[in-house]
Amino acid sequence: MIGVIRKFFAFCPPEYRSKFYKALAMGVFMSFFHALSIPAIALVLSGVIEGNVTAMHIWGGFGLMVLGVIGEGILRGQATNLQTQGGYGTATDKRIEIAEHMRYLPMGYFNSRSLGAITSVTTNTMENLQGVATRVIMLVSEGLLTTAVIAVILLIFDVRIGLILVVGCTVYLIVNHFMQVRSEQMSPIKVQTDTVLVDNVLEYVQGMQEVKSFGFVGDKTERLNKAIEENVDANTGMELMLVPFMAAQSIVTKLTGVIMCLCSVWFYLAGSMDLLVCIIMIISAFMVYGSLESAGTYSGLLRIVDVSIDRANEILAIEPMDIDGCDFTPETLDIEVRDVDFAYGDRKIIDGVSARIPEKSTCAIVGPSGGGKTTLTSLISRFWDVDAGEVLLDGHDVRDYSMDALMRNYSFVFQRVYLFKDTIANNIRFGHPEAPMDKVVEAAKKARCHDFIQALPDGYDTVIGEGGATLSGGERQRISIARAIMKDAPIIVLDEATANVDPENEKELMEAIDELTRDKTIIMIAHRLKTVEHADQILVIDQGKVVQRGDHAQLMAQEGIYRRFVNVRQKAATWQL
């Protein structure tokens, strides 16, 4: 129990950890104010027992009661405020820290983990920490502190009753330890089913078009329902598993209170305890029960806090790419790839590739699907680090650049465009949030998307759906090109940017790409002949190797993959219905 509380405080950023410490300190004083009811009652009872109740007894007892209530109320309000700030502040900072950390993780991390797992950590896990964890940690801590304060007071009044309380608390903590052990076994299962549930919900919603198109509604619904049922079973199972231990804790606290009461009466009857002390001991027994009951009720959730912290730390512990290089500003944009190897696990994807891409030239990368084209562009852009060899920009290894300095030189237009649930203007100015509106409009006009944006209900202030779901594929592509134009980087990477564009949008999209790539270094992955044949250099990649290189005319003069590629495309172009 104590270990989990310490882990939680260590997890919190220093600014918010201090708030929790202040709240705990206030909790100690709250315990003293709460315990003022004991001397208040003792003062009044002393007058009753002596048969001489004076104004001092009445007003003194009343004053102590009022002081205790007011003091506890003020401190509780301030402590709650600090807890709230600490909980939500910690979750906010950790979400930002995780997001910043993921910026510098190799792309392979995102390939090996589901969207649901990442989403679950940043939503469910952080939600647990900002709400459940804060309340659990503070209530358990306050319950234990109040019990400790009462125990000290009882030891002062009567060491025998104080020792009974100490023994009862020890038994209580032993039972709680076994509950923590059982909870530790179940908590990872609960968190895992939370992750699987989020993953299945996202897959079901995002793939709804395919699910309906292929008639798999029943199958996908069954998978989603199974995930929901498993999550329900995990949560119910955890609750039911903890019930016997919580009952045992309750029995221990009640028995401790009963024994304290019986012993107090016994000592009074035996003449070894004053009546006043006996009554105070009986009242204290009920106060102890309330404090321990509060701590015990929530302590079963401590393992959820423990696992949640571990899940967040798991992401933060992943070794990022070395991003602390030099802030180079390249004088030329020459790119060179030297004997580069790269593998996903045991599967080699890039095998001894070398290439040179001069500044302001166009390099097209073609080849069979799965040959390593996208991986090669990712290595050039340093989305991954090479296993062997090196990638150079202006003669400097890309690993020698700081990540931000390197990324200033690249703009990307991918086949699958992601737009954020925000206004179109903010999506365009994504890399330059402070860019004025006239610059946004200028970029949109160059990207050939100004006209369709103006036709939308709110123009540039139209909020688009998450992922750009409310726009067509061609419209999303042109907005992504406007975003890249706004960045105005000298190197443009086009990853099959025109692969899935309908003929109606193709002309405008090609005009937008022309605007984007003017006087730039261009690296393109393409399957369309018209986007390849004018390239200064064509690299043909197959099974991770460069099997051909040259311009269109040179490669057409050779027998090989490229000529077969062109012949197939030319035959397809002559088909008529």
Cβ-based neighbour number of residue 177 at 10 Å:
11
Structure tokens at 160: 């025998």
The H or E element containing residue 353 is: strand 347-357
**Is 147:291 a contact under the CB 8 Å cutoff?**
yes
Select the more confidently predicted residue: 222 or 86: 86
If asked whether residues 359 and 310 sit together in one domain, one would say no
Q: Which of 144-153, 404-413, 503-512 has the lowest mean pLDDT?
A: 503-512
If asked whether residues 301 and 349 sit together in one domain, one would say no
Sorting pLDDT into bands at 50, 70 and 90, what band is 408? confident
Q: Which of 269, 299, 316 is the last residue of a domain?
A: 316
pLDDT at 187 over 70: no
pLDDT at 326 over 60: yes
If asked whether residues 301 and 358 sit together in one domain, one would say no
Question: Which pLDDT does position 341 carry in this prediction?
Answer: 92
pTM for the whole structure? 0.60
If one counts the domains in the chain, the total is: 2
Candidate ranges 99-108, 437-446, 527-536, 559-568; pick with highest mean pLDDT: 437-446
Residue 575, domain member (yes or no): yes
Q: Which of 72-76, 116-120, 511-515 has the lowest mean pLDDT?
A: 116-120
Q: How many CA atoms lie within 13 A of 385 on its CB side?
A: 14
What is the mean pLDDT of the segment spanning 175-203? 71
The string over 218-235, giving b where at least 16 C-beta atoms fall within 10 Å of a residue's C-beta and e elsewhere, is eebeeebeebeebbeebe
Q: Which residues contact 405 (CB under 8 A, 6 or more apart)?
A: 325, 326, 327, 328, 329
If asked whether residues 201 and 307 sit together in one domain, one would say yes
What is the mean pLDDT of the segment spanning 304-308? 73
CA–centroid distance for 573 within its chain: 48
Question: Which pLDDT does position 577 carry in this prediction?
Answer: 44
> What is d(CA 542, CA 532) in angstroms, rounded to the nearest whole number?
17
Select the more confidently predicted residue: 187 or 562: 562
Q: Which of 197-206, 262-271, 436-445 has the lowest mean pLDDT?
A: 197-206
**CA proximity to 329, closest of 263, 392, 394:** 394
Q: Which of 61-70, 504-513, 551-560 has the lowest mean pLDDT?
A: 504-513
If asked whether residues 238 and 347 sit together in one domain, one would say no
Mapped onto helix, strand or coil, the DSSP state of residue 42 is helix
Structure tokens at 119: 């989403």
Provide, for the chain, the percentages of residues in helix, strand and coil under a 3-state DSSP scheme, each rounded to the nearest 5: 65, 10, 20
- pLDDT digits over 95-140, tens only? 888 888 887 777 666 654 555 667 777 777 777 777 766 777 777 7
Mapped onto helix, strand or coil, the DSSP state of residue 542 is strand
Q: Which residues pair with 541 in a beta bridge?
A: 546
Question: Which pLDDT does position 576 carry in this prediction?
Answer: 47
**What CATH number has the domain bearing residue 134?**
1.20.1560.10
What is the mean pLDDT of the segment spanning 364-371? 84
The string over 371-407, giving b where at least 16 C-beta atoms fall within 10 Å of a residue's C-beta and e elsewhere, is bbbbbbbbbbbbbbebeebbbbbbebebbebebebbb
Q: Which of 316, 332, 352 is the last residue of a domain?
A: 316
Q: Which of 266, 299, 316 is the last residue of a domain?
A: 316
Q: Which residues contact 33 (CB under 8 A, 6 or more apart)?
A: 67, 68, 69, 71, 72, 75
